Amino acid sequence: MNNTTPFWEPDWKRVQAPLSALRRQLASFPSPPLRIMKVSQLDADLLDEELLETMKEQLWSAFALFKPSFKETFKPEMTLALNLIMYKFSVYDMGATYGSQLQNLIYRNEHKHSGGLQSTSSDAPLTKTQKITYGVVTVGGQYLMERLNRVVTAQGWGELPEDNIKRKAWNVLQKGGSIFRIVSLFNFLAFLYAGKYRTVLERVLSMRLVYAERNSNRQASFEFLNRQMVWHAFTEFLMFLMPLINVSKLKRNVKRVLLPAALMSGNELSALPSHICAICHENNSAAATPGTHTSTVIHNPYITDCGHIYCYYCIKTKMMIDDEWCCLRCGKKVDAIARHIEVAPDKALEEKTEDEPEQSEQEADEAGAEDDSVSEIQP
């Protein structure tokens, strides 16, 4: 069988050069921008933080039986090991963090998608240099900063003289931190505008989050969110409403409707001794703890118009809170109070009154004896 050249092959070879030139021109043409939802990227960051906190709690519980000083001393190293493990099995192996994978996101090398290649269907994976640099800065940088802050705080670099080299290094660290926070703020504003590069490091390394599967729909259930919003609004309404409700007044009105007056006046507080404040006794009984005892003796006594005595602070507070407050002993409404003054018996006065009759009898006897002597002298 004779090998004949297809009729179209010469023409195909002839148009290769124009096609290559056309491809290069298409790369420079503006293409529709690739839009990635900002909320998905921010949710991925929050999911990563929650997952890290969960793993930390499990790690700390594993060292619960160790000495507290051991955990506090090696806490940065244990956090470093945990971050390294999570980084290795997420960004280094899969090209995305666990939170990003849950949001259908993955990192791509944005250097390979400049110009008209921004919206191409195939995404360029991260290079090994990008992955290693990202891990060194995020994992190693976090560990170095935590260790450095511990050394600076322990040695008190910020309290040393201005000409000390450690104080100068501390000033440089403070200024560097302030500059980094300002740059991070501007980067976040740029992210809110364009939807690319959540952090400064991602922008420097050209690591952009894109959809792992372009054709998959975003499955978001707002049932839990709606339930949380309803409960949040309901609790805020209750917190606003509760201070406006006079619970004691409401309780008293309910008792008046449901209980007869004889039962209200025949409570256990009516049987208390007169030197015990019924309000103090009620408050201490409600908040009493085993093994404790608080005095309920009346201090600065005031008497109500129904004839019962309370502490001034207790009765005045109740009347200021509730203008229809009822006595705890008899159940009658208290309209007025007055200072109660107890007259203590004077023992000296009693002894004096007891001695006065005896002195009067002695004086009368003496007067009678004088009269008899005078009558005997006269002829």
Q: Report the percentage of the chain scoring pLDDT > 70.
A: 78
Residue (of 76, 93, 183) closest to 139 by Cα position:
76
pLDDT, position 365: 59
pLDDT band, residue 378 (cuts 50/70/90): very low
- Total Cβ atoms within 10 A of residue 305: 13
pLDDT band, residue 21 (cuts 50/70/90): confident
**Spatial contact of 238 and 157, defined as CB atoms under 8 Å apart:** no
pLDDT, position 207: 94
**Spatial contact of 80 and 139, defined as CB atoms under 8 Å apart:** yes
* Predicted TM-score (pTM) of this structure: 0.54
- CA distances from residue 78 to 48, 70, 93, 149 in whole angstroms, order as listed: 18, 11, 22, 17
Q: Give dist(CA 294, CA 169) in Å, integer.
A: 57
Q: Domains of the chain by range and CATH?
A: 30-215 (no CATH), 267-339 (3.30.40.10)
pLDDT, position 107: 95
Q: Is the pLDDT of residue 379 over 50?
A: no
pLDDT, position 377: 43
- Tell me the average pLDDT across 38-61: 92
Which of 94-98, 173-177, 276-280, 360-364 bottoms out in mean pLDDT, i.e. has the lowest? 360-364
- Secondary structure of 96-111 in the HEC alphabet? CCHHHHHCCEEEEEHH
pLDDT band, residue 139 (cuts 50/70/90): very high
pLDDT, position 360: 55
Q: Give dist(CA 138, CA 140) in Å, integer.
A: 6
pLDDT band, residue 376 (cuts 50/70/90): very low
* 3-class DSSP assignment, residue 308: coil
* More confident of the two residues 320 and 258: 320
- CA distances from residue 374 to 211, 271, 361 in whole angstroms, order as listed: 139, 69, 20
- Tell me the average pLDDT across 307-323: 87
Q: Is the pLDDT of residue 127 over 90?
A: yes
- Tell me the average pLDDT across 346-356: 57
The length of the chain in residues reads 379
- Tell me the average pLDDT across 345-355: 57
